[in-house]
C-alpha cells in the first residue's frame, strides 16, 4: 500500500528531522500514522501502537473523540473565524473565563495563541513591557530574563534564546539580548556537585541569587522555568525550590513565569503543577494538553498585578491572525471539559505512580536503566552503560531500542539517552502493564536479545516494505 496518492512527491520539510536519513529509510516506512483511537495509533499497514509519547506530549484525552469533532463542525458552521483585534466573540471570551476559573481566578487576563512557542514569546514581551511602563521609574531598566540552561521553551527567537542551547547559538545567532542562564538542579548529574536533590536545589537557588546580584538587580526582570523539565530528560523540580525562587524574585522585584506548556492540564497529576507552589507564578504559559492537539491552541495567564501596568499606558503591541480563533477556542473548551469530567488529572496521578513503580522495579533486572524519574504521566528513563560512571547510551543505540519498542507496538519518545513516556491521560493499568512489558523486553541486553531484536526489526522491515513504502518517483 502506498500512502501517497498518484503523482504526489515528498516535498514536506519535516520539523526537527534529518531529511537525509529520514527519506532513505522511507523504504521501511518511516513512522507513518494514518489513524488514532483512544490511546492507540495505527500506521498505513494497519499496525496498532500504544501512543506512549502522547504524540508530541499533547494528546491528553486520546484520539478520535467524536464530541470534539462535532464541536468543531458546529462552530465552523456558526462562525469559522472572527478576529479578537479591537473586537471579540463568545468562544474566546468563554475560554478565557474558563481558564481563569480553573485557577480559582488567581489569573485575570488571558492571551490566546496557537502554540507553546507563541505563549512563551508573548510572556517575554509582556514582562518587558510590564517593567518599561511601571509607575516606578527605577524599574524601567529591567529586561533580563533568567532561565535554565538546557530547558525547552520553543522555537521562535525569544523562546529559543531561553533554552540556552549551544547549537541554536551556533546556527541562529545573534539571539536576542538579555537572556541569562543558570544550571538546573539536576541531582542525577551532580549539578552543583551534589546528588542530593534538596542540597542541589538549595545551591541552585543560591546561584540564581548570585547571578541577579552580579548582573545588577535593576536590570533583571524575570525567572522562567518548566515545573518538570521535559526535553532535558524529565527532571521534576520540587515545589520547595519554586517557593525559594519566588521569595528571591519578590526580593529583587522580578516576575516568576511558569512554562506549563507540557505540565499543564493534568500531565503531572495536578491540573497545573504550579498550583502546588505557595505563591502562584505571575505569568503561566499553557499549550499542548489545552486542546490535546485537536486544533492548535495556547494561552498565557496573567495576574492583575501584572496587567495593571498596561492600564492607561501603551496597550500590548502583540497579536496574530489566529489569536483566539473561535473554532480552536470551542474545541479547547470541549477538551478541558473531558479532562475534568473523566477525572483525567487524578488518573494521571494514579497510573503515573503505578508506571513509575513498575519502572523502578524493572531497574532491578535491567542494569541499562540508570535512573527513572517523573511526576504523573511524564516519566523519563535514563539509559547508561554503567551505573557508577553514568556513561550515557549513544543516541543511535537508543534509537535502536525505541525502534524495537515500535516493532513491538509501542511508540515512545526519546532524546539522547532518555526514553520518555507521555501517554494520553486516559490510559488504564492494563495499558500501563503493556507499556512495561514492551519496555522490559526492549531494554533487555545481551547477545541473544540483540539477535531477537534484529529478527523483530527484520520482520517489521519485510512487512512494511511491502505495505508502506513511499513512492520514490
Ligand atoms: C515546556 C515547553 N514550552 C514550550 C514548548 C513549545 O511549544 P510548541 O512546540 O507548541 O511551540 C514546548 C514544546 O515541547 C515545551 O515542552
DSSP states along 364-380:
TT-TTEEEEEEETTEEE
Residue 456 included in any domain: no
Atom of ligand 1 nearest to the CA of 154: 6
Q: What pLDDT does residue 461 have?
A: 61
Q: What pLDDT does residue 445 have?
A: 87
Q: Which one, of 215, 238, 264, lies nearest residue 116 by Cα? A: 264
Residue 383 has pLDDT above 70, yes or no: yes
Asked if residue 384 lies in contact with residue 392, where contact means CB atoms within 8 angstroms, the answer is yes
CA 467 – CA 462 distance, rounded (Å): 9
Same domain, 186 and 205: yes
Same domain, 393 and 261: no
Residue 225 included in any domain: yes
DSSP symbols for 230-250: -TTT-EE--HHHHHHHHHHHH
Domain range spanning residue 386? 344-423
Among 9-18, 62-71, 320-329, which stretch is predicted with the lowest mean pLDDT? Answer: 9-18
Q: Could you give the number of structural domains in the chain?
A: 2
224: which strand partners? 257
C-alpha distances in Å from residue 109, one per residue of 224, 315, 443: 19, 13, 47
Q: What pLDDT does residue 472 have?
A: 37
DSSP type of residue 52: T
Atom of ligand 1 nearest to the CA of 156: 11
Q: Pocket residues for ligand 1 (CB within 6 Å)?
A: 115-117, 120, 152-154, 226, 230, 259, 261-262, 287
Domain boundary among 299, 315, 341: 341
Q: What pLDDT does residue 459 have?
A: 72
pLDDT > 90 fraction of the chain, expressed in percent and rounded: 87
Model confidence at 467, pLDDT cuts 50, 70, 90, reads very low
Residue 470 has pLDDT above 80, yes or no: no
- In three-state form (DSSP H/G/I as H, E/B as E, the rest C), the secondary structure along 441-461 is HHCCCCHHHHHHHHHHHHHHH
402-438 pLDDT per residue, tens:
999 999 999 999 999 999 999 999 999 999 999 999 9
Atom of ligand 1 nearest to the CA of 298: 10
Same domain, 387 and 268: no
CA 247 – CA 258 distance, rounded (Å): 15
Which CATH number do you get for residue 266? 3.40.640.10
CA 265 – CA 339 distance, rounded (Å): 8
Q: What pLDDT does residue 373 have?
A: 98
Same domain, 180 and 241: yes
Task: Say how many Å lie between the CA of residue 320 and the centre of ligand 1.
Answer: 18
Q: What pLDDT does residue 47 have?
A: 92
173-182 pLDDT per residue, tens:
999 999 999 9
Contacts of 256 by beta carbon, 8 Å cutoff, 6+ apart: 222, 223, 224, 242, 245, 246, 249, 279, 281, 282, 283
* Residue 381 or residue 464, greater confidence: 381
227-281 pLDDT per residue, tens:
999 999 999 999 999 999 999 999 999 999 999 999 999 999 999 999 999 999 9
Same domain, 110 and 201: yes
- Give the up-direction half-sphere exposure of residue 15: CA atoms within 13 A in the CB hemisphere: 3
SS3 462: helix
Atom of ligand 1 nearest to the CA of 117: 11
Task: Say how many Å lie between the CA of residue 326 and the centre of ligand 1.
Answer: 22
Atom of ligand 1 nearest to the CA of 296: 10
CA 201 – CA 118 distance, rounded (Å): 29
Pocket test for ligand 1, best of 154, 257, 290 (most atoms within 8 A of CB): 154
Residue 437 included in any domain: no
Same domain, 246 and 385: no
Domain boundary among 341, 369, 395: 341
Task: Say how many Å lie between the CA of residue 150 and the centre of ligand 1.
Answer: 13
Task: Say how many Å lie between the CA of residue 118 and the centre of ligand 1.
Answer: 9
Same domain, 241 and 284: yes
DSSP symbols for 61-90: T-B--HHHHHHHHHHHHHHS----SS---H
Residue 316 included in any domain: yes
Residue 369 included in any domain: yes
**For 9-34, what is the mean pLDDT?**
78
Same domain, 255 and 393: no
Same domain, 252 and 396: no
Residue nearest to atom 16 of ligand 1 (CA): 262
Atom of ligand 1 nearest to the CA of 56: 14
Residue 37 included in any domain: no
- In three-state form (DSSP H/G/I as H, E/B as E, the rest C), the secondary structure along 259-288 is ECCCCCCCCCCCCCHHHHCCCCCCEEEECH
Task: Say how many Å lie between the CA of residue 51 and the centre of ligand 1.
Answer: 19
Task: Say how many Å lie between the CA of residue 63 and the centre of ligand 1.
Answer: 20
Same domain, 148 and 248: yes
Pocket test for ligand 1, best of 58, 59, 261 (most atoms within 8 A of CB): 261
CA 60 – CA 422 distance, rounded (Å): 9
Residue carrying C-alpha cell 492507540: 40
CA 258 – CA 281 distance, rounded (Å): 6
Residue 51 included in any domain: no
Domain boundary among 341, 361, 385: 341
For 315, the grid coordinates are 496597550
Same domain, 385 and 335: no
CB atoms within 10 A of CB 456: 17
Which CATH number do you get for residue 353? 3.90.1150.10
Letter string b/e over residues 329-360, b meaning 16 or more CB atoms within 10 A of that residue's CB: bbbbbbbbebbeeeebbebbbbbbebbbebbe
DSSP type of residue 384: B
Same domain, 337 and 348: no
Q: What is the pTM of this model?
A: 0.96
SS3 254: coil
Residue 13 included in any domain: no
CA 178 – CA 180 distance, rounded (Å): 6
378: which strand partners? 375
Pocket test for ligand 1, best of 16, 60, 116, 413 (most atoms within 8 A of CB): 116
Task: Say how many Å lie between the CA of residue 376 and the centre of ligand 1.
Answer: 18
Task: Say how many Å lie between the CA of residue 136 and the centre of ligand 1.
Answer: 33
Task: Say how many Å lie between the CA of residue 5 and the centre of ligand 1.
Answer: 32
Amino acid at each position: 500500500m502506498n500512502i501517497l496518492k498518484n503523482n504526489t512527491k515528498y516535498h514536506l520539510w519535516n520539523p526537527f528531522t534529518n531529511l537525509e536519513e529520514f527519506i532513505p529509510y522511507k523504504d521501511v516506512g518511516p513512522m507513518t500514522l494514518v489513524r488514532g483511537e483512544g490511546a492507540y495509533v495505527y500506521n498505513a499497514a494497519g499496525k496498532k501502537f500504544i501512543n506512549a509519547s502522547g504524540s508530541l506530549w499533547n494528546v491528553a484525552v486520546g484520539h478520535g473523540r467524536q464530541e470534539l469533532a462535532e464541536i468543531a463542525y458546529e462552530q465552523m458552521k456558526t462562525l469559522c473565524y472572527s478576529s479578537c483585534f479591537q473586537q471579540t466573540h463568545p468562544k474566546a471570551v468563554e475560554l478565557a473565563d474558563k481558564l481563569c476559573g480553573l485557577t480559582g481566578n488567581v489569573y485575570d487576563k488571558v492571551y490566546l495563541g496557537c502554540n507553546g512557542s507563541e505563549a512563551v514569546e508573548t510572556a517575554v514581551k509582556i514582562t518587558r513591557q510590564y517593567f518599561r511602563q511601571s509607575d516606578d521609574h527605577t524599574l524601567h531598566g529591567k529586561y533580563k530574563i533568567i532561565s535554565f540552561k538546557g530547558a525547552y521553551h520553543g522555537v521562535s527567537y525569544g523562546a529559543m534564546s531561553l533554552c540556552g542551547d549551544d547549537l541554536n547559538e551556533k546556527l541562529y545567532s545573534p539571539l536576542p539580548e538579555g537572556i541569562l542562564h543558570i544550571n538546573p538542579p539536576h541531582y542525577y548529574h551532580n549539578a552543583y556537585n551534589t546528588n542530593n536533590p534538596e542540597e542541589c536545589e538549595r545551591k541552585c537557588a543560591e546561584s540564581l541569587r548570585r547571578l541577579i546580584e552580579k548582573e545588577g538587580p535593576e536590570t533583571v526582570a524575570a525567572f522562567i522555568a518548566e515545573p518538570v523539565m521535559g526535553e532535558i530528560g524529565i527532571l521534576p523540580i520540587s515545589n520547595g525550590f519554586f517557593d525559594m525562587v519566588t521569595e528571591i524574585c519578590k526580593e529583587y522585584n522580578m516576575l516568576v513565569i511558569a512554562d506549563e506548556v507540557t505540565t499543564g492540564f493534568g500531565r503531572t497529576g495536578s491540573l497545573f503543577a504550579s498550583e502546588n507552589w505557595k505563591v502562584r507564578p505571575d505569568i503561566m504559559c499553557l499549550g499542548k494538553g489545552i486542546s490535546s492537539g485537536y486544533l492548535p491552541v495556547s494561552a498565557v495567564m496573567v495576574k492583575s498585578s501584572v496587567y495593571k501596568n498596561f492600564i492607561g499606558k501603551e496597550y500590548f503591541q502583540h497579536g496574530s491572525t489566529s489569536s483566539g480563533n473561535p473554532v480552536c477556542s470551542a474545541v479547547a473548551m470541549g477538551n478541558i471539559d473531558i479532562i475534568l469530567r473523566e477525572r483525567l488529572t487524578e488518573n494521571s496521578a494514579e497510573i503515573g505512580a503505578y508506571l513509575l513503580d513498575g519502572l523502578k522495579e524493572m531497574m532491578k533486572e535491567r542494569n541499562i536503566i540508570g535512573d527513572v524519574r517523573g511526576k504523573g504521566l511524564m516519566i523519563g528513563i535514563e539509559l547508561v552503560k554503567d551505573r557508577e560512571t553514568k556513561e550515557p547510551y549513544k543516541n543511535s543505540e537508543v534509537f535502536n531500542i525505541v525502534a524495537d519498542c515500535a516493532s513491538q507496538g509501542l511508540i515512545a519518545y526519546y532524546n539522547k539517552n532518555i526514553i520518555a513516556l507521555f501517554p494520553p491521560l486516559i490510559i488504564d493499568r492494563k495499558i500501563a502493564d503493556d507499556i512495561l512489558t514492551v519496555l522490559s523486553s526492549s531494554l533487555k541486553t545481551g547477545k541473544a536479545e540483540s539477535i531477537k531484536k534484529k529478527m523483530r526489526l527484520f520482520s517489521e522491515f519485510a512487512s512494511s516494505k511491502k505495505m508502506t513504502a513511499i513512492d520514490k518517483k
